[in-house]
Amino acid sequence: MHDVLDNICESKITGADGFFLGVKLTKTELETIRMLIKKQWLERIDQQYPDLTHKFNDLGMERYHELSHSLDHSALWPKCARILPKSAVKIIRTMSLFTKLESFYGHFMLSDEENVGWEEMYWRLVRPNELSDVGPLHADAWFWALGHGCTPPNTVRIKVWIAIYCETGKNGLKLVPGSHNKEWRFHGEL
């Protein structure tokens, strides 16, 4: 059975679809990731808005949007403030998702595109009905072609996206099957 799942996953990722939804974190793993992100989230709020930390802690990250009007969201959450610390990455790298990916691709390194000094994992905080939190339809390869981040030469990029808090059918990442095989025209502007 394990080999069948491996073959299905590999053919979905590299084949017509370009993505695979059949690998999941365990409930314990998801809770661990939530705890690691929440710790960083609260520490950042406490640094910038110490008087509000207890309110956000009581409300919880999944209901952040109910109080986000009381702080400067865009200034509080630049990408560098959302990169998980090395200790958190070390924990997450031992989880089943990475074990499964390494069974497909062999040992791999996560990129350090922002030059923080360790493998990068970062999280996003998207509020309901806030269009500024969500980018328009795009291919991540456009950002890479335009020079965003530092990726070693002769590497293959695979993007892993995991919903940490979401409502099934109401939010998440939208993908276009087969879009990884198309030539998309784009241009960059300063």
pLDDT 10s digits, 95-110:
998 888 888 778 888 8
Task: Tell me the pLDDT of the chain averaged across its residues.
Answer: 83
pLDDT of 88 > 90? The answer is yes
Q: What is the pTM of this model?
A: 0.83
pLDDT value for 2: 47
Instruction: Determine the Cα–Cα distance for residues 138 and 174; give it in Å rounded to an integer.
Output: 11
Higher pLDDT, 182 or 86: 86
- At how many degrees (to 10) do helices 2-14 and 96-105 cross? 70
Categorize the per-residue pLDDT at 1 as very low, low, confident or very high, splitting at 50, 70 and 90.
very low
Categorize the per-residue pLDDT at 180 as very low, low, confident or very high, splitting at 50, 70 and 90.
confident
40-49, 63-72, 105-114: least confidently modelled range: 105-114
Task: For residue 72, give every residue at least 6 positions away whose Cβ sits within 8 Å of its Cβ, in sequence order, or none.
Answer: none
